[in-house]
Amino acid sequence: MFLIDDDAASPELPHTYGVDDIPLIAQDRRLPGGVLDPDESMAGTTGLLGDRILVNGTLGPYLDITTRRVRLRMLNGSNARAFRFHFADRRAFELVATDHGPLPAPHTTDQVQLAPGERAFFCRIPLEETAMARDDALKQLSPLARERAFERHVGSHRLIQSGLDALIAGVESPSLAMLAGLLRSEEPEAPALFDQVLEELGLAFHPPADPRAARWAMAYWIAGQIADGSLDPAAGTHLIHVEVAYELGRPKDLEPLVQCAHLLDAWDESWGVTFEQLNEEAVEAAKQFLKKRSAAEAGA
């Protein structure tokens, strides 16, 4: 990419190269064994369709943005694949130029599609409050690790998105860029890569080998999510009822949560109590259940 500018014609656009004026060349390439496929030049008359996305020749690159406004000069450097570019949080940006030259006025959109060899220039204003902090990105990985450990279904798209969030937040792991950069056709690879990332970050969770102990661990995990508001009380108490209490023979310590599950499932307006009140009771039952565990561990 050659950059030839007449900055005097557009002084309002960012123009400090590498700081607020960033070229981005996206290409798909074949990387068997992590090296460039030497036969890719013979991909046929339709052109190459690679299995990895490189940006500026790098797999999973990352750049810290330090300015309020940024000009990104996008080029689709592939020879057969079209790309649709957008931000992970779908924030809007201003398209300021295309292959036909500068636009008469910036066009606000949340995505742009580029054919092979096509260019587009756009600006954006970073919204700091939407960026995920590193600690928050790590905290997002742990619940997914437990869902998978307890054999709950976790879609590959969630695993890939969590990897992308962690990468953007500055988390470092040898396999993280591979996870975050998976194509849709590569989604089956996400679970194994996600587990590898967890191991590298020391976040892997392995439930107890004893089946009963594993069920109790699941109950504490679900109750914790109910208590902190990350899991709907009706869904959480239902899980404890069918996945834990039933399998353990309805132990006494789980009865309050099982009772909440029954009430939330059968609730009717004629009862004289709101659904929100039942939710609050379920949250309190979860907290009491966790408190008993803490007291038992403290006395051990």
pTM greater than the 0.85 cutoff: no
Tokens of 253: 């310590």
Q: Provide the pLDDT confidence category of residue 232 given band limits of 50, 70 and 90.
A: very high
Tokens of 105: 């006025």
Q: What percent of the chain stands above pLDDT 70? A: 83
Secondary structure of residue 133 in the 3-state scheme? coil
Task: Specify whether the CB–CB gap between 121 and 71 falls below 8 A.
Answer: yes
Q: Give domain limits for the chain.
A: 7-129, 134-201, 211-292
Spatial distance between the Cα atoms of 211 and 5, rounded to a whole number of angstroms: 67
Looking at residue 295, the DSSP 8-state letter turns out to be H
Tokens of 136: 């928050």
Q: What is the pLDDT of residue 120?
A: 84
Q: Provide the pLDDT confidence category of residue 8 given band limits of 50, 70 and 90.
A: very low
Q: What is the pLDDT of residue 286?
A: 96
Encode burial over 32-43: b for 16+ CB neighbours within 10 A, e otherwise: eeeeebeebeee
Q: What is the pLDDT of residue 3?
A: 56
Q: What is the pLDDT of residue 180?
A: 87
Contacts of residue 4, Cβ cutoff 8 Å, sequence gap at least 6: none
Q: What is the mean pLDDT of the chain?
A: 83
Mean pLDDT for 193-206 is 93
Which architecture does CATH list for 7-129?
Sandwich (2.60)
Of 199, 156, 157, 153, the C-alpha closest to 176 is: 199
Residue 131 or 172, more confident = 172
Q: What is the pLDDT of residues 115-125, one digit of tens each?
A: 888 888 877 65
Q: Report the DSSP pairing between strands 119-124 and 70-76.
A: antiparallel
The conformational region for residue 18 under phi > 0 = left, psi -120 to 50 = alpha, else beta, is left
Residue 254 or 80, more confident = 254
Tokens of 167: 């990468």
Q: What is the pLDDT of residue 38?
A: 55
Q: Provide the pLDDT confidence category of residue 127 given band limits of 50, 70 and 90.
A: very low
Contacts of residue 101, Cβ cutoff 8 Å, sequence gap at least 6: none
Residue 132 or 110, more confident = 110
Q: Provide the pLDDT confidence category of residue 40 given band limits of 50, 70 and 90.
A: low
Residue with tokens 């969590």: 162
Q: What is the pLDDT of residue 73?
A: 87
Q: Which stretches does DSSP call E strand in 79-205?
A: 83-85, 93-98, 101-109, 112-114, 119-124
